[in-house]
């Protein structure tokens, strides 16, 4: 059997990490089985859906590299098809017009609550036939009254729900627009979705959707409901806990691979392994290994993973993402050092790409002022003399490479009878503005001769005055 999964977000906000994890698991399952992964935008709630949010979802999927084989499909383009199916259900006697007013339903609800009963539609209009055009009506699905629905959930195991628990749900509103459960069913059927992988907040919808599918004589998909993601305080993960939007993680300097790796481990495991290449994720992923209970989002672990990815990924890959962050700082990434070399020099000390970009600003533009502490410690009487000699030797240096640069510093220190730090540290402050940078010879190669000499001159003047 060929496998088809789908990610079906409602475009009512940004793509959050919970949605991204659902998308990732659906993507992995399709990739693992050589199947199809579909993106479906569930935009039928016209009041809450926005183009901006559609864009945010597409942008998030693209940034994460979760490529879809079909779509994006928009449910708003399928209204005719939903109408057709609603009519079919009416014709078959599996749906009916319900004329109960809001007030009536509200009163019913109040009574049921007072009797400590579960609020549900009482089926008053269920046996009416035809359509009374003079009255406003919604359309309800005629849910079976007896028997049970068994969800063979691939994560949670078998879930059995009595049909008595399910009332006749509205499939079309008074204005004729279809409701969520109907549209999902029609699309899952038409798109031949074989595996519905989604958050367990949808678990109550599943038996209803299965009943509609049965009424349509459609094949039932398999279901896998993913447990919730919680914040550190045990509450459902939300904005209160910090970044939850996928694009916010990009803005905060995370690599998409690190976020994917973090998300795959959120509720899924493969032995003790923490770091997975995409190929490994595809190879090892099984829905059966998804945890039944909720998982907690741990920002520190994500940060640790991000650092691992920054340090161990191909530096050219990291450089491509870093380039964007350099641009975000208003700097031109082409007007500085070779980015791959810069990544190699900065990756040990950078947990995020934002950190890496921020600690690289001096390669692109003059810093405004020197770090005060660094000045106090490293620019003392006579430092200008040392820097002047350095300037002369560096001006004369033909081969601007790490090794000869290193030699210049070593030689000067020896000639002046100083330890190397007494030369290298003032030099570092002179060219970077602070006492923190990669190894001094590497910093010099990254900065280049021209900028180095200008900055040495500036430091000499500064110390003199």
Q: How far is the CB of 10 from ligand GLU (least distance, A)?
A: 4
Which residues lie near ligand GLU (CB under 6 A)? 8-10, 42, 184, 198, 202
What would the two tokens of residue 346 be?
């900065």
Q: Are 6 and 46 in contact (CB under 8 A)?
A: no
* Counts of helices then strands in the chain (DSSP H, E): 19, 12
Q: Measure the CA–CA gap between 225 and 206, rounded to whole angstroms.
A: 10
Q: Is 10 or 296 the residue whose CB approaches ligand GLU more closely? A: 10
Q: How far is the CB of 27 from ligand GLU (least distance, A)?
A: 14
CB neighbours (10 Å) of residue 9?
Answer: 25
Q: Is 137 or 184 the residue whose CB approaches ligand GLU more closely? A: 184
Q: Is 10 or 122 the residue whose CB approaches ligand GLU more closely? A: 10
Q: Is 202 or 406 the residue whose CB approaches ligand GLU more closely? A: 202
Question: Is the bond preceding residue 72 a cis peptide, omega within 30 degrees?
Answer: yes
210 Cβ contact partners less than 8 Å away, ≥ 6 residues apart: 149, 151, 220
Residue 465 is inside which H or E element, if any? none
Q: Is 13 or 404 the residue whose CB approaches ligand GLU more closely? A: 13
Partnered with residue 162 across adjacent β-strands are 148
Q: Measure the CA–CA gap between 22 and 18, rounded to whole angstroms.
A: 6
Q: Are 66 and 6 in contact (CB under 8 A)?
A: no
Q: How far is the CB of 75 from ligand GLU (least distance, A)?
A: 9
Q: Are 39 and 71 in contact (CB under 8 A)?
A: yes
Distance separating the N- and C-terminal Cα atoms of the chain: 80
Q: How far is the CB of 131 from ligand GLU (least distance, A)?
A: 30
Q: Which residues are catalytic?
A: 239
3-state DSSP assignment of residue 180: helix
Q: Is 45 or 341 the residue whose CB approaches ligand GLU more closely? A: 45
Query: Among 409, 433, 452, which Cα is nearest to 361's?
Result: 433
Query: Among 286, 281, 279, which Cα is nearest to 262's?
Result: 281
Q: Measure the CA–CA gap between 300 and 290, rounded to whole angstroms.
A: 22
Q: What are phi and psi of 32, to 5 degrees?
A: -60, -35
Q: How far is the CB of 195 from ligand GLU (least distance, A)?
A: 11
Q: Is 208 or 428 the residue whose CB approaches ligand GLU more closely? A: 208
> What single DSSP character describes residue 352?
S
What would the two tokens of residue 141 be?
């699905």
- Residue recorded with tokens 């905060």: 252
Q: Is 165 or 201 the residue whose CB approaches ligand GLU more closely? A: 201
Q: Are 151 and 143 in contact (CB under 8 A)?
A: no
- Residue recorded with tokens 């380039």: 323
Q: What are phi and psi of 348, to 5 degrees?
A: -60, -40
């Amino acid at each position: 059997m060929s496998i088809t999964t789908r990610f079906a977000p409602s475009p009512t906000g940004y793509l959050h990490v919970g949605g991204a994890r659902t998308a990732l698991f659906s993507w992995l399952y399709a990739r693992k089985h050589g199947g199809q992964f579909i993106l479906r935008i569930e935009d039928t709630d016209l009041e809450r859906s926005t183009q901006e949010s559609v864009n945010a979802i597409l942008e998030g999927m693209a940034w994460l590299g979760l490529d879809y084989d079909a779509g994006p499909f928009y449910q708003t383009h399928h209204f005719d098809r939903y109408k057709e199916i609603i009519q079919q259900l009416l014709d078959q006697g599996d749906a009916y017009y319900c004329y109960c007013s809001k007030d009536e339903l509200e009163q019913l609800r109040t009574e049921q609550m007072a009797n400590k009963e579960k609020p549900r539609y009482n089926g008053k209009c269920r046996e009416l036939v035809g359509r009374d055009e003079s009255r406003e009506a919604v359309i309800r699905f005629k849910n079976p009254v007896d028997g049970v629905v068994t969800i063979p959930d691939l994560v949670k195991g078998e879930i059995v729900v009595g049909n008595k628990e399910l009332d006749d749900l509205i499939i079309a509103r008074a204005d004729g627009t279809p409701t969520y459960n109907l549209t999902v069913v029609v699309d899952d059927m038409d798109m031949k979705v074989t595996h519905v992988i989604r958050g367990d907040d949808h678990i109550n919808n599943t038996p209803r959707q299965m009943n509609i599918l049965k009424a349509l004589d459609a094949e039932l998909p398999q279901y896998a409901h993913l447990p919730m993601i919680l914040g550190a305080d045990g509450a459902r993960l939300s904005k209160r806990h910090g970044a939850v939007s996928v694009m916010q993680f990009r803005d905060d300097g995370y690599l998409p691979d690190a976020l994917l790796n973090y998300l795959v481990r959120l509720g899924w495991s493969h032995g003790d392994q923490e770091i997975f290449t995409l190929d490994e994720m595809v190879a090892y992923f099984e829905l059966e290994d998804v945890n039944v209970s909720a998982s907690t989002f741990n920002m520190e672990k994500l940060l640790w993973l991000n650092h691992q990815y920054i340090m161990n990924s191909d530096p050219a890959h990291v450089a491509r993402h870093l380039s964007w962050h350099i641009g975000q700082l208003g700097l031109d990434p082409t007007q500085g050092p070779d980015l791959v070399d810069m990544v190699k020099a900065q990756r040990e000390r950078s947990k995020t790409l934002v950190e890496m970009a921020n600690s690289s600003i001096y390669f692109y533009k003059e810093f405004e002022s020197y770090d005060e502490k660094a000045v106090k410690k490293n620019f003392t009487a006579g430092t200008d003399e040392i820097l002047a000699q350095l300037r002369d030797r560096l001006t004369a240096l033909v081969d601007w490479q790490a090794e000869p640069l290193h030699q210049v510093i070593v030689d000067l220190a020896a000639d002046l009878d100083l330890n190397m730090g007494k030369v290298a540290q003032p030099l570092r402050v002179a060219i970077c503005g602070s006492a923190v940078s990669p190894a001094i010879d590497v910093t010099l190669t990254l900065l280049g001769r021209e900028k180095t000499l200008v900055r040495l001159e500036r430091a000499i003047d500064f110390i003199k005055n």
